[in-house]
Amino acid sequence: MGRLSGRGWFSDLMNIHFRRVWFRAAAFTFMWWMLTAGSVNSWLVGAPVVLVATLISMVLVPPFSCSVVGSVRFVPFFIWHSLRGGADVAWRAFHPQMPIAPGLVDFPLRLPPGMCRVFMVNTVSLLPGTLSVELGANCLKVHVLDIRKNVLSELATLEQIVAKMFKISLQDAKGDECNEEI
């Protein structure tokens, strides 16, 4: 970790986590305020709820880095693939011959385990005709409506976008990781 200030690494670390705790507390406070329509009387219950929610969120979802630019780039990707996926599935469903060739494909994951991998696996379902089926150690099994399409390249693109969003570099995938029993 580089030096953020002249106070030392521990001070900098505590400052970073304090900002993340503060942001989460502010988000939960805003949610409580919205849920209670700004009622002042609700804060007798709301303050402890916000405190507990903040503490639990720090335990269940440890702090992680997220790129604002990467997140902004993900939004149009998400919208485009959601619309394209919906149109593709609708076209296949209403087509007289129903042109599908369903099957399972194995995708070797290069994202490290953690929040970024979970985000990737959950996002796969927005791609046209795909659904995450099973997650192995470093392999994702995906059900596709048409195995003739190049789904692996779309999954690789998604993985790169998610990596940029979470500010991480992709690991080298070993070719045999998806051949193991998952």
| 147 and 93 within one domain | yes
3-state secondary structure at position 87: helix
Give 1's DSSP letter.
-
Contact 20, 63 (CB under 8 A): yes
Q: Considering the domain boundaries, does residue 3 fall inside one?
A: no
Task: Tell if the pTM clears 0.85, that is, is over it.
Answer: no
What's the pLDDT at 15? 55
Same domain, 172 and 93: yes
How many angstroms separate the Cα of 102 from the Cα of each of 14, 85, 141, 154, 165?
Answer: 51, 15, 13, 17, 31
- Asked whether residue 156 is assigned to any structural domain, the reply reads yes
Same domain, 39 and 79: no
pLDDT of 149 strictly over 70: yes
Longest dimension (CA), the chain: 70
Q: Do 48 and 127 lie in a common domain?
A: no
**Span 100-135, pLDDT tens digits:** 889 999 999 999 888 889 899 999 987 778 999 999
For residues 131 and 158, state if they share a domain.
Answer: yes
Indicate whether 80 and 161 sit together in one domain: yes
Tokens representing residue 136 in the block: 């192995």
> How far is the C-alpha of 96 from the C-alpha of 82, rounded, in Å?
24
Q: What is the mean pLDDT of residues 52-71?
A: 82
**Co-location of 80 and 103 in the same domain:** yes
Domain housing 85: 68-178
Is there a single domain that holds both residue 131 and residue 169? yes
* Whether 160 and 73 share a structural domain: yes
Q: Is the pLDDT of residue 11 over 80?
A: no
Considering the domain architecture, whether residues 86 and 37 belong to the same structural domain is answered as no
Q: In terms of domains, do 101 and 20 share one? A: no
In a domain, 2, yes or no: no
The dihedral built from the CA positions of residue 18, 24, 25 and 27, taken in this order, carries a sign that is positive
What DSSP designation does 101 have? B
Same domain, 54 and 113: no
Q: What is the rounded CA–CA span in Å between residue 31 and residue 94?
A: 41
Q: Residue 4 falls within a domain, yes or no? A: no
List, in sequence order, the alpha helices (H) in the chain: 9-35, 43-60, 68-94, 115-123, 151-165
Domain count, the chain: 2
Q: What is the 3-state secondary structure (H, E, C) of 113-152?
A: CCHHHHHHHHHHHHCCCEEEEEECCCEEEEEECECCCCHH
Structural domain contains residue 148? yes
In a domain, 34, yes or no: yes
